[in-house]
Each structure stands twice: as C-alpha cells, then as structure tokens.
Structure 1
Amino acid sequence: MSIDNRSVVQRVLIITLVLNLVVMTLKAVIGWWTGSLSLVADALHSVTDGINNVLGLITSRLSSPVPDRDHPYGHQKFEAVGALGIAAFLGIACFQILQGAAERLINGGQPVNISSTELWLLLIVLGINIFVAFYERNVGQRVGSPILLADAKHSMSDVWVTITVVAGLIGVGAGFQWLDVVLAFPVALLVLWTGWSVLKANLPWLVDEMAIAPEAIQAIALSVPGVINCHDIASRGLLGRQIFIEMHLIVDAEDVETAHRITEEVEARLEERFSPVRILIHIEPPEYKSDRISYEGVGAAGEAGGAGED
C-alpha cells in the first residue's frame, strides 16, 4: 500500500514560500540600501528558495503514489525530478555569485555602508531561515518526502550563507570593506555543496539503485516455514516512501493453495518490515536449485533471463 502525503507536503511548501518571499525582499532591499555584494548574492540565493518552493508544489501535485494505466508504478519519481531541479537552481546561483564577486574584484565598486538597524533586520531574516530549514526537515523526515528534505538542505545552506554575510557586514562596519567581496566566495561554495548533496541523495532513486540488501530480504523469507530458498532478489525505491521487491521463491508445497499461503506469509513479513512495499514473487518447485541471491556478476541478458526457467 502506498502512502499519499502530498497534501502535507504542499501545505509546508506554501508556508515556506511565503516566508522565503519575505526573506528575499528584506535581503534585496537591505542589499540595495547598503551596496553589499555578498548580501545581494544572498538575496539571489533566496530567490532560488522561492523558485524551489513553486517547483516543489508542481512536482508534488504530479507525484501521486497511486498507480494508473500509464504509470503502473505510481508517479513518485516526479518528486525526485523536482529535487534535481533544486540542484540545478543551486548551480545557477553559485555561478552568478562567483561572477559578481569576480567583477567586483576586477572593477571595484561603491563602499558598503551598514547600520545597526539593517543588521537587526538581517538577524530577523536569519531567524526565519532557521525556522524554515528545521520545519521542512522535520516534516520531510516524518512523511518521507524527498522534495521537502532537499528543500530543507537548501534552506539550511541559506542559514549558513546569511551567517557568513552578517559576519562580513559586521567586519565591513568595522572598516574592512574587502570582507564583503571575499566572503562572497565561501557563500558560492556553500551553495555548490548543497546542490551536490541534493543531487547525490536523489540520483539512486531515479536510476533504480538497490533499496534493500538482498541478504536482508532473503533472511526474512527463509524465516517463513515452507520456504526452502529464494534467489534473483531485486529491490528499488526509497525506504519509508515506496519500495518494490521482486524475487524467485522455492517452496516446499505440493499444491497451489499451500504455495500461495507460504508466499502470503512472506509478503506479510516483508510488508511489516519495509512498508509501504509492493512485492512480486515467482514460485519455484522444491527440486529447483539456485545459489544466486541477486544479480551481482550477471553480464549477459540471456544469462539473467535463463536463471528463472524451470
């Protein structure tokens, strides 16, 4: 059974979109007032936050776990695609920050002027960023949403960016004008690292990387009375979100009813351990033998297909 948490995800994304718009506006206005390159770059980073929220709303609406004729495995990979979109936006933001910093180093610019009022406004912005990051992460972990977890990482990078910018502006206020440009570079690196983390977390789901070690699945199956062995075990998906498991099961049964009862017990134990999960089991007779737990070392397609014949 698939769990549809899209309404929760969409509510969180709407709340964070509103807060990110507030943050973006404050950063842009203060950056324009003060002439701070690092703060303008930080505002650009916050623009991507808002875009990410809109992208998340779109992909979350599309990512129904309920299968249909055209998508018999559900639509949840749309969320992972959305997370990859976030990584792409982070890459764009990184490039623009580096470009602006390089231009300031080469061509120079107006001195940055920062007041205590503007610093207090930035501290309020920082508090909003921290709230958004932890709020999205907590809900994302609870409902198993890749888009919320990816956006939470982005929001957390915004926290560190803002801390870096505020520290630099305090230094600028003390007379160190060069800090504004210098600190724009670590801001870019933080943005780039966040994008890489999001990419690394979502690619395995999109390329159907193994979700559960086949040995763990085999151990559960062998604990059921009547199971002699299981082989050609495959799994994909995301734990806590949706898992798909396929296997060949050798059972000690002389009739279909007994074999069916054994497979139902195997499915029940796997569902108890890895729910939500969809399981496909191919039954083999007792005399069938195979020592291959999974597909490791299988090269040709013909070899893989021939193993399941009986």
Structure 2
Amino acid sequence: MNQSDPKVEAQTARNVTLVGAALDSVLGLIKIVIGLVANSQALIADGIHSLSDLLTDGLVLAANYVARQRPDQNHPYGHDRFETLGTMLLGTLLVAVAGGLIWDSIGRLGQHHQLEAGAIAISVAIFSVLSKEWIYRYTLKVAEKLNSPLLKANAWHSRSDALSSVVVLIALVGNMLGYPWFDQVGTLVIGGMVAHMGASLVWGSLRELVDTALPEADTQAIREQAMQIEGIRGVHRLRTRTMSGRTLLDIHLQVEPHISVSEGHEIGVWVSHQLRSQFDDITDVTFHIDPEDDTETDSPDPTRMRPLRPEVMTLLQARWSSDQIWSGIERTTLHYINERIDVDLFYSRTHLTCEEIEEVQQRLQQAVHDLPWLGQIKVWVGAPNA
C-alpha cells in the first residue's frame, strides 16, 4: 500500500505536469506556425488542441495541490474529491474544445486548400506523435505510482494528442497525394476523439461523485479476503465507494455471538489489516461487529427493540431479589440474539452441584417467564475474572 508523504507525492505530480506543459507549449506554437505556412487546417487545429492542454495542465496542477493536502477538521476524509472535480472539469474542457474543432471543420468542408511545405508539416506531425507518446508513458508511470486518476486522465489526454497527430499525419499525406478534403476530415476525426475522451472523463468523475460502488468482482474479492480471518462467520452489508483512486468501505462482520466485545473488535481489526494488505487502494475500513446476520434489518422496528441493561437489571432485580442466589451474583452478561436477551449469571460460590445449578436455572427462568424478550438463563459457578 502506498504510504508516501503527501508533500512528496504532490511534488512528483507537479513535476511531471510541468514537463507536459512545457512540451504542449512548444508543440502548440510549432504546429500553428507550420500549419499556417503549409496551409493545413488539420495541423493548425492540432496546434490549438496542444495549446488548450495548457489550461488542463494548469487545472491538474491546482487540483493536485489541493487534493494532496492532509485531512482536516472540515474534510476528515481528505481532499481527494477536489481531484475528482478537477478530472470532471478537465473532461468538460475537452468536450468544449472538441465542439469548437468540429464546428470549424464542418464550415470548411467545401473549402479545399492545396498543402504547402508538405515535408516540413509531415515532419512536425511525426515529431508530435513521438513526443506525445513519450509524455503519455512518463505521466502514466507516475500516475500508477501515485494511484492518481487525475494524472491518469492527463496521461490519456496526452495519448489522445498522439493519436490526433497520427490523424493529422494521414491528412497531410492524403493532401499531398491530391486529396485535399483529407485535411477537413482529419480535423473532424480529431474533434471526435477529443470529445470521446472528455465525455469518458466526465462520466467517470460523475460516477465517483455519486459514490458508485466497486464492480461486483472486486466486492466479491474483498468479501472472500475478510472470510479468511479466523472467527468470521459471515460478511454482509459490504458498501464501497471511491475517492480519487482510494477505496473506502463499510463492512458488517458476523462473529460468534457469545464472545467478548474486545475479542469481536480484535477480529475486526484483523479483517481491516487483511484488506489493507491485500488491496493497495483500500485506505479506510469501517467495520461493524454483529452477533447475527442483520442483512434484512435496514431500520429497527421500535416495537421490537429490546430494553438496554439498566431496564433489564431493574426488572431482574424485582423478580429475583427474594431468591437467595441473587445475593451471590458477581456479574451479569447480556447477549442480544435472535430478538431475545440471553442472560449469563456468574455465581461467586462453588458449593452447588450440577443438579442444583440446573434447578436454580429453572427457578430463575420461571420467575421471568412473562418477559417476552427474555431468552435463556444460564448460571456459571465460580467468581469470574475481573
């Protein structure tokens, strides 16, 4: 699991984004200048696309800076949603740029211009393909190391630039071969590719913002890992959501109903450790220990809720105070199971035989038979360990 310092991560993301921004600046200016000289609308459009990337690079820098801040009182889960928001805005900008390119290209479909300085234009397109492919691989490597969806989106944005430059290259070659309409068609294809990439980013960000769960296969893998911990009898109400590449989950763990609270909690701690160890993206686990499967109990029925200890002990005191066994009870443990309350009584004296213990249990059970929520009464002989 990635345990790097957020400041180091932010600096690493900043560096790779600045490299990409410098490359976009150089490529954008070269493409526009050569496009004007060569009379290539596709190359000019690709240059505008590269310069527009400076806006997205700035957005990535700002969103990454905020998202890498440590949790605070107002944002106890961290600031990762700012990265998600940045990704959505980046996608929106791409769709807007694509719309402009497509609209301009449609208006020029009937205007055929002969390509000038074709060799230079083709050389620029080839350089663009190679350089954008390099920055794609560089950015993606850093994004995977930091598990950053925003950087991954920016990496794939660079890949879309490389592909668009391939389309420009084809358009330029087609124009030189006597098919000038290749230029406008190439611009349309570029616009479609950019629009598709932008829409994909927006859709993915929206799914994260509305807390869409992990795919069923991932959820099943989490459930299977939790079941490997000794003491787990069942897993239910497993809920997942993502925040900028991090997975947060809530999980209900069913354990043996008569174990202690501390043992149940320790089992939950082990489940949390297991999940964090096996899944690098899981950073927050909230577990709930259950003595039984409460999958169907979305909200408790007030008429079926059982009384808590103060009321239970008051009622038991009223029923058993006249019984001599009551004065020797050192501790009472309540088990809320199957909509009833089982009671364990720890008796400090040790002179009772098995037959006498059985008789005491029956006598105490009979004294509270009219309490509908009361389950089984058990008497344990010998003072319990404090």
TM above 0.5: yes
Which residue number in structure 2 is paired with residue 13 of structure 1?
17
Can you give the 5+ residue segments of structure 2 that lack an aligned partner in the other structure?
306-335, 337-386
Structure 1 residue 200: Cα displacement: 3.5
Which residue number in structure 2 is paired with residue 226 of structure 1?
231
Residues of 2 paired with 1:222 and 1:121: CA distance? 57
Aligned match for 2:54, one of 50, 55, 63: 50
Moved more, 251-260 or 67-76: 251-260
Asked if residue 154 in structure 1 is aligned to residue 148 in structure 2, the reply is no
Residues of 2 paired with 1:173 and 1:183: CA distance? 14
Can you give the 5+ residue segments of structure 1 that lack an aligned partner in the other structure?
293-302
Please tell me the residue identity of whatever aligns with 2:140.
R
| Bigger relative contact order (CA 8 A; separation at least 6) | 1
Please give the TM-score of this superposition, normalised by the length of structure 2: 0.70
Q: How do 1:24-39 and structure 2 match up within 5 A?
A: 24-39=28-43
Moved more, 71-80 or 220-229: 220-229
Contact 1:37 1:100 in 2 (8 A): no
Asked if residue 74 in structure 1 is aligned to residue 78 in structure 2, the reply is yes
Asked if residue 145 in structure 1 is aligned to residue 123 in structure 2, the reply is no
Residues of 2 paired with 1:226 and 1:171: CA distance? 69
Please tell me the residue identity of whatever aligns with 1:235.
T
Contact 1:146 1:202 in 2 (8 A): no
Asked if residue 304 in structure 1 is aligned to residue 308 in structure 2, the reply is no
Residues of 2 paired with 1:223 and 1:182: CA distance? 57
Structure 1 residue 117: Cα displacement: 2.8
Which residue number in structure 2 is paired with residue 249 of structure 1?
253
Asked if residue 282 in structure 1 is aligned to residue 276 in structure 2, the reply is no
Structure 1 residue matching 2:221: 3-state secondary structure: helix
Moved more, 196-205 or 25-34: 196-205
Structure 1 residue 17: Cα displacement: 0.6
Residues of 2 paired with 1:140 and 1:132: CA distance? 12
Which residue number in structure 2 is paired with residue 184 of structure 1?
187
Residues of 2 paired with 1:19 and 1:76: CA distance? 27
* Higher share of residues assigned helix: 1
Residues of 2 paired with 1:110 and 1:232: CA distance? 64
Please tell me the residue identity of whatever aligns with 2:95.
G
Residues of 1 paired with 2:255 and 2:45: CA distance? 63
Aligned CA distance change for structure 1 residues 81 and 112 (closer, same or farther; 3 Å): same
Aligned CA distance change for structure 1 residues 212 and 257 (closer, same or farther; 3 Å): farther
Please tell me the residue identity of whatever aligns with 1:216.
A
Please tell me the residue identity of whatever aligns with 1:121.
V
Q: How do 1:89-100 and structure 2 match up within 5 A?
A: 89-100=93-104
CA RMSD of aligned residues (A): 2.3
Aligned CA distance change for structure 1 residues 211 and 66 (closer, same or farther; 3 Å): farther
Which residue number in structure 2 is paired with residue 298 of structure 1?
none
Structure 1 residue 36: Cα displacement: 1.4
Contact 2:92 2:199 in 1 (8 A): no
Which residue number in structure 2 is paired with residue 296 of structure 1?
none
Structure 1 residue 206: Cα displacement: 1.8
Contact 1:114 1:169 in 2 (8 A): no
Please tell me the residue identity of whatever aligns with 1:69.
Q
Count how many residue pairs are aligned between Structure 1 and Structure 2: 295
Structure 1 residue matching 2:61: 3-state secondary structure: helix
Moved more, 253-262 or 37-46: 253-262
Residues of 2 paired with 1:65 and 1:261: CA distance? 31
Moved more, 50-59 or 271-280: 271-280
Residues of 2 paired with 1:229 and 1:118: CA distance? 65
Asked if residue 272 in structure 1 is aligned to residue 277 in structure 2, the reply is yes
Residues of 1 paired with 2:55 and 2:139: CA distance? 16
Please tell me the residue identity of whatever aligns with 1:170.
V
Residues of 2 paired with 1:103 and 1:260: CA distance? 68
Contact 2:132 2:161 in 1 (8 A): yes
Asked if residue 215 in structure 1 is aligned to residue 184 in structure 2, the reply is no
